[in-house]
Amino acid sequence: MAAKWIETLTGSLEQKKQYKADRARLEALPAPYRDAAGAFHRYLLVAGGVTDGDTLTTMFTDFADLWERAALDGTPVRDVVGDDPVEFIESFAAAYSGKRWIDKERARLIAAIENAERGDPQ
């Protein structure tokens, strides 16, 4: 019963466990992969904007899979990310459609403009 109450406030505990496991997988990578994955991970947290827990969990699990596979195969980091690291990570994040924090703000903006057109102050 307490777990449901806590999950109501904080989100799924299973998702948090999965995220921590995926984060540990990234930390266990050899140096060049660990460093690159860490930089991309930080970028995803700051700029990814995904708020849906299921989508976020899937994205980070796939992200850990990608870097583990690259390390296992010995694929150079630049061969994984290409010439533009920003384009790489933004394309990666775009592949995971889910609810994003900006969706709420976009809806708020649209409503504000519609209210302004009708002359409704809000």
pLDDT in tens, 13-35: 898 999 999 999 999 999 999 99
Residue 55 CA to chain centroid, in angstroms?
A: 8
Angle in degrees, CA 53, 55, 60, rounded to 5: 95
64 contact partners, CB below 8 Å, separation of at least 6:
22, 23, 25, 26, 37
Q: Where are the domains of the chain?
A: 2-118
Tokens representing residue 16 in the block:
């948090």
pTM (predicted TM-score): 0.75
Residues forming a β-bridge with 50: 100
Tokens representing residue 1 in the block:
């019963």
Which pLDDT value is given to residue 108?
87
